[in-house]
Amino acid sequence: MAIISRGFHGRRPLDSARLPPGQYETTSFPVLSAGPTPRVPRETWELSVTTESGQRHTWDWDGLMALPAESPTVDLHCVTKWSKFGTEWRGVSLDVLLADVETAAEHVLVGSYGGYTTNVPLADLLDGKAWIAYGYGGGDLTPEHGGPARLLVPHLYLWKSAKWVRDIQLRESDVPGFWEGAGYHNYGDPWREQRYQGD
């Protein structure tokens, strides 16, 4: 009796059209963070958007829940080379959140509970490209994955999807965030393998 079946050829082929260069598919959802996991009660959670002129807009948890929600299904791509297909989220589109915010800014600096920051062009948060996500896989978003709410920008590497989102600063000039200041790419397009400065 043969020990190895000749019909076994390893893993099922990946959907190469969905997998950016240098990535591999995973069915798990690895937990990677730049520091300790903040535990933010919904009762004290707040999100602010501050314009380049200093005008501040805020939402508490009830205010966020009162906004129209969406349930996007998206692929995720981490700079550490894993990709997870078909992740299911619940959240508020940045188009809804920023609908009444007057700004001429082109840049955004996103801040988190715990002190993490990342920068994103404002255009990459609009037109159905980004959400403030508070649900994952049909349940609440757990603290390990950024709960109670995180930014979700699935077309960029996952470090741009700031966990434990707290504030969004609309800016006239670009300011690097935590990983960008440590040598990661300023934009982070997985399809162009923009992992580090110079890529």
Q: Is residue 39 part of a domain?
A: no
Pairing outcome for strands 46-50 and 165-171: parallel
Q: Is residue 38 part of a domain?
A: no
End-to-end CA distance of the chain: 51
What's the total number of domains in the chain? 1
- CB neighbour list of residue 181: distance below 8 Å, 6 or more residues apart: none
Strand partners, 112: 165
- The rounded percent of the chain whose pLDDT value lies above 90 is 85
Q: At 15, is the pLDDT very low, low, confident or very high (cuts 50, 70, 90)? A: low
Q: Are the C-beta atoms of residues 132 and 97 closer than 8 Å to each other? A: yes
Backbone region of residue 188 per phi and psi (left: phi > 0; alpha: psi in -120 to 50; beta: other values):
left
Tokens 């707290």 belong to residue: 166
Quote the domain boundaries for residue 107.
Answer: 44-192
pLDDT at 14: 53
- Tell me 144's DSSP state: G
Rounded CA-CA distance 60/139 in Å is 20
Phi (first) and psi of residue 196, to 5 degrees: -130, 165
How large is the average pLDDT for residues 44-56?
97
CATH of the domain at 109: 3.90.420.10
Q: Is residue 31 part of a domain?
A: no
Convert the pLDDT of each residue in 125-177 to its tens digit.
999 999 999 999 999 999 999 999 999 999 999 999 999 999 999 999 999 99
CA distances for 186 relative to 30, 178, 199, angstroms: 23, 11, 10
Q: Is residue 8 part of a domain?
A: no
Q: At 10, is the pLDDT very low, low, confident or very high (cuts 50, 70, 90)? A: very low
Q: Is residue 122 part of a domain?
A: yes
Q: Is residue 94 part of a domain?
A: yes
Convert the pLDDT of each residue in 83-125 to its tens digit.
999 999 999 999 999 999 999 999 999 999 999 999 999 999 9
Q: Is residue 154 part of a domain?
A: yes
Q: Is residue 57 part of a domain?
A: yes
Closest by alpha carbon to 167, among 10, 47, 30? 47
